[in-house]
Chains A and B, each alone.
Chain A
Amino acid sequence: AQSVSQHNHHVILSEAASLELGCNYSYGGTVNLFWYVQYPGQHLQLLLKYFSGDPLVKGIKGFEAEFIKSKFSFNLRKPSVQWSDTAEYFCAVNSHSGTYKYIFGTGTRLKVLA
């Protein structure tokens, strides 16, 4: 069955700490990969996406993610977090064909302490 796993449900970091959030997927065929962020009281916003090409993708606000095909992983990283990064982060995948519906992970709630 198609699924996305996010291993860390809650993460607490101090400002300036480095961040890595794990995402693994199980999906037959070629996939597109996404990270979305949901700030408190706001809607889901796209952080970054991978469709093809360079497996290291850079997104907004200093975030980046690396697609490792052999590990079915798409981990999100940021070298130095800020208090304003406090949010919930969702990994999602969809197929290169068909309806392009998303399969989401359960999310990781990040709290950054000032």
Chain B
Amino acid sequence: DTGVSQDPRHKITKRGQNVTFRCDPISEHNRLYWYRQTLGQGPEFLTYFQNEAQLEKSRLLSDRFSAERPKGSFSTLEIQRTEQGDSAMYLCASSALYGLETQYFGPGTRLLVL
């Protein structure tokens, strides 16, 4: 069990550029979550996948954000036309479909938009 991994760990981009983050969940975990954490705040839910189906999206997820989990394994989160307000830590978590619904978090991708 290698845990949840995320890539890249850090990303600096200029306003208006597109960025894509990747999350590899714990193998055999069916549920995958994306959260966003800004300074001084707790993580906020962005979106949820059960296998390859995206079943819930937060209102925080504007139309510039898109997430996929094409084969029910890894997931990507893309931000188009980045804005300075997108600067945050983007966290991925996974959990098993059945059981105690505990989520396991990755190290996060820290995004800085200049």
Binding site for B on A (CB under 8 A): 4, 6, 9, 32, 34, 36, 42-46, 49, 51, 90, 92, 94, 99-107
Contacting pair A101 B45 (CB below 8 A): yes
Interface size class of B (residues with CB under 8 A): 20 to 34
**B107: chain A residues within 8 A (beta carbon):** 42-43
Query: Which residue on chain A has the smallest CB distance to residue B4?
Result: A43
B102 CB-CB contact with A under 8 Å = yes
B40 CB-CB contact with A under 8 Å = yes
Contacting pair A44 B95 (CB below 8 A): no
Contacting pair A105 B106 (CB below 8 A): no
Distance in angstroms between the alpha carbons of A93 and B93 in the assembled complex:
15
Distance in angstroms between the alpha carbons of A94 and B100 in the assembled complex:
11
Query: Which residue on chain A has the smallest CB distance to residue B40?
Result: A106
Shortest beta-carbon distance from B2 to chain A in Å: 13
Contacting pair A107 B42 (CB below 8 A): yes
Beyond A43-B106, A44-B91, A99-B55, whether A104 also contacts B43 by CB under 8 A is yes
Shortest beta-carbon distance from A5 to chain B in Å: 11
